[in-house]
């Protein structure tokens, strides 16, 4: 990465990362500072690049499924399902209804687990370590549920092209109900513990403000877009799977403690989204039908020539798969669009004029995950 030489001035170039814990992975940000004031911030990425898109061209459609787990290790189930939906759209496969409900259940559980890490890690970055332990405690119970389903606690490889690998185990829905009854009141407990703590609010309010216009212009997605007051959620606005059968709200930022689109708004959108995921899960438990969990898919899977783009609402926003097929057993081309990558583009703009300590709040409020950026 080229570093512009500074003329004689009081400005200083500082490397934040790639080992700094608050960068949430191997991210390097080159800060230009005047004393404690930041006058520029250039993200430098690529430390975790694994060439996932090229790998997709060298393995079969089914063999690429475990690689999607590694795309966002905090939301592996969401990535599994998004890829499966993209391939099914390409091949015109109709997925059994029960399988679609199961996918919604695992996706919303994984959304809660991801937001718990966002909540805990962000508050730890701000100097409050105790909430992180609360978030990990609840996430462990979600991991227990995933272990019941597929035997894994982080990378699941549970979705399949045509459905899911196997049905829910006996007693799972009862365990899920027990977890929801336990977890829902905990969200209010988090707000009492830290969300409205005077010091925490002071660290986030009016920091890293992203206007509605800038959020759209820079292509922000998910909670980062909704934090700026834009009510856009693919589950509502472009319903896929069986999401059109559920009643839930789309939380947006409204300048609760400062300016619309500040770090506090982005934080609170994620807190409120966990409550909406609980609503969806309760409805899914009530509505889930009996039946098969896999469509009939040929053993040698060869979709016809064509191209398709499918996008799903992941915890970090829109995850899109663009697939080009020439009729073989592997994609001719596969391109992935992720929410964390688009979030980086606005860092330089919103960082200017803040103190170095505020950059930590800026990074944490966007909830980026580096495997999703570097791919």
**In the block, residue with structure tokens 């365990």:** 175
**Which pLDDT band, with edges at 50, 70 and 90, does 19 fall under?**
confident
List phi, psi (to 5°) of 367.
Answer: 50, 55
100-139, pLDDT tens digit by residue? 999 999 999 999 999 999 999 999 989 889 999 999 999 9
For residue 47, being part of any structural domain is answered with no
6-10, 21-25, 80-84, 302-306: which range is least confident on average?
6-10
Total domains, the chain: 1
Question: Do 341 and 372 contact (CB within 8 A), yes or no?
Answer: yes
**151 Cβ partners below 8 Å, 6+ apart?**
none
Residue 142 belongs to some domain of the structure? yes
Residue 36, token pair as written in the block: 């404690």
Collapsing DSSP to helix, strand or coil, 257 comes out as coil
Asked whether residue 163 is domain-assigned, the answer is yes
Q: What DSSP designation does 4 have?
A: P
* CA angle (127 as vertex; 122, 130 as ends), nearest 5: 80
CB atoms within 10 A of CB 265: 29
Whether the upstream peptide bond of residue 209 has omega within 30° of 0, thus cis, is: no
In a domain, 156, yes or no: yes
- The three-state secondary structure class of 335 is strand
Asked if residue 123 belongs to a domain, the reply is: yes
Between CA 38 and CA 34 the distance in angstroms is 6
The H or E element containing residue 263 is: helix 263-287
d(CA 269, CA 224): 8
> How does pLDDT run across 318-369, given as a tens digit for each residue?
999 999 999 999 999 999 999 888 888 899 999 999 999 899 999 999 999 9
Q: Residue 134 domain-assigned?
A: yes
pLDDT given at position 107: 95
- Is 197 inside a domain boundary? yes
What CATH number does residue 292 fall under?
Answer: 1.10.645.10
What DSSP character marks residue 196? T
Residue 18 forms part of a structural domain: no
Tokens 């505020």 locate to 358
What local confidence, expressed as pLDDT, does residue 16 receive?
A: 87
Residue 4 confidence (pLDDT):
56
Residue 6 pLDDT > 60 = no
> Average pLDDT for residues 286-314, to the nearest whole number?
93
Beta bridge partners of 333: 324
Domain extent, residue 215, equals: 61-302
> 3-class DSSP state for residue 235?
helix
Distance CA 361, CA 370 (A): 17
Helical segments of 41-171, H only: 52-56, 65-69, 76-91, 97-125, 130-150
């Amino acid at each position: 990465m080229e570093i512009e030489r500074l003329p004689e001035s009081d400005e200083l170039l500082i490397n934040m990362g790639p080992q700094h814990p608050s960068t949430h992975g191997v991210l390097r940000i080159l800060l230009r500072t005047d004393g404690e004031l930041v006058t520029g911030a250039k993200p430098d990425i690529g430390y975790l690049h694994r060439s996932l898109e090229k790998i997709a061209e060298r393995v079969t459609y089914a063999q690429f499924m475990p690689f999607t787990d590694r795309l966002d290790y905090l939301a592996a189930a969401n990535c599994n399902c998004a890829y499966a939906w993209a391939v099914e759209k390409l091949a015109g496969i109709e997925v059994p209804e029960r399988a679609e409900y199961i996918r919604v259940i695992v996706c919303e559980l994984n959304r809660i687990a991801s937001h718990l890490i966002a909540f805990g890690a962000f508050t730890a970055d701000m100097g409050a370590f105790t909430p992180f332990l609360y978030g990990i405690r609840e996430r462990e119970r979600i991991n227990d549920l995933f272990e019941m389903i597929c035997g894994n606690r982080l990378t699941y490889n549970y979705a399949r092209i045509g459905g899911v690998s196997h049905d829910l185990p006996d007693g799972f829905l009862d365990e899920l109900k027990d977890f929801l009854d336990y977890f829902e009141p905990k969200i209010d407990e988090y707000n009492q513990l830290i969300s409205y703590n005077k010091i925490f609010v002071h660290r986030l309010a009016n920091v890293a403000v992203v206007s509605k216009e800038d959020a759209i212009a820079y292509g922000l997605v998910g909670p980062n877009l909704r934090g700026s007051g834009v009510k856009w959620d693919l589950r509502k606005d472009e319903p896929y799977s069986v999401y059109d059968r559920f009643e839930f709200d789309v939380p947006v930022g409204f300048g609760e403690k400062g300016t619309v689109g500040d770090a506090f708004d982005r934080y609170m959108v994620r807190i409120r989204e966990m409550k909406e995921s609980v609503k969806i899960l309760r409805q899914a438990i009530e509505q889930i039908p009996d039946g098969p969990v896999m469509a009939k898919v040929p053993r040698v899977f060869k979709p016809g020539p064509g191209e398709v783009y499918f996008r799903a609402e992941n915890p970090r926003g829109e995850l899109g798969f663009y697939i080009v097929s020439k009729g073989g057993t592997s994609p001719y081309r596969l391109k992935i669009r992720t929410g964390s990558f688009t979030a980086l583009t606005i860092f330089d703009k919103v960082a200017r004029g803040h103190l170095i300590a505020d950059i930590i709040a800026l990074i944490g409020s966007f909830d980026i995950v580096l495997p999703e950026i570097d791919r």
